[in-house]
Amino acid sequence: MSEPNEHEPLTEDPRPDGLRSAQSLVVVNTGDGKGKSSSAFGMMLRGLAVDWRVAVCQFVKSGEWQVGEEKMGRQLGVDWHSFGDGFTWDSNNLDHDRQHARDGWAKAAELIAAGDHRLVILDELTYLCTWGWVPTGEVVNAIKARPEHVNIVITGRDAAPEIIEIADTVTSMTEVKHAYAQGIRAKRGIDY
């Protein structure tokens, strides 16, 4: 069989044989490109559309930022939790930020274990593991021990290999070009 030309439509079904259902999935959106959280919030909307209870736990963005996803998510009934204090480079007290993140992770782990939500989004969780604020092993164990109906989405750069290993789907966003690099500020309605 010859290799398909990427510029022509597929003529054969590319799906593998023997597809099966899964009770839940773990999805990781990582990489240096834009769209990790935006993709997760698209899944938030899909979950709501099929009447799932959805929770979002944000670990870097501050609850004071008033991002559009939070506003709409709350209006649609999403349980929204902000455990971040904003960008670390703006912090006056990294020890406080570290403890806030640890406390937030403890609450997120309880939320996952409770099984009240079909979808739990752990937005920017990878940073806590990368910085050593939360042990990666704790995250992996909480995800492995989750109730079988709980779907997890994790976002953030530099996802740890252990997290990638337990995920069902991993997407690495690659930056090709970004307005910020051209001196353009984040735009409300597009970036937040």
> Is residue 15 a part of any domain in this protein?
no
In angstroms, the Cα distances linking 71 to 53, 64, 86, 164, 179 are: 17, 11, 17, 30, 24
Query: Which pLDDT score is estimated for 98?
Result: 83
In a 13 Å sphere around the CA of 174, the CA atoms on its Cβ side amount to 1
DSSP state of 87: -
pLDDT per 10-residue tile (average), the chain, 192 residues: 72 85 97 95 98 94 70 95 66 74 94 98 96 96 98 98 98 92 84 74
Query: Which pLDDT score is estimated for 181?
Result: 85
Query: Which pLDDT score is estimated for 127?
Result: 94
Query: Which pLDDT score is estimated for 191?
Result: 78
Query: Which pLDDT score is estimated for 147?
Result: 98
Alpha-helical (H) ranges within the chain are 36-49, 68-75, 94-114, 125-130, 136-144, 161-166
> Is residue 185 a part of any domain in this protein?
no
pTM, entire model: 0.88
Give the domain CATH number at 160: 3.40.50.300
| CA separation for the pair 67, 15 (Å, rounded) | 37
> Is residue 164 a part of any domain in this protein?
yes
> Is residue 4 a part of any domain in this protein?
no
Query: Which pLDDT score is estimated for 144?
Result: 98
Number of domains the chain contains? 1
User: What domain range includes position 113?
Assistant: 26-173
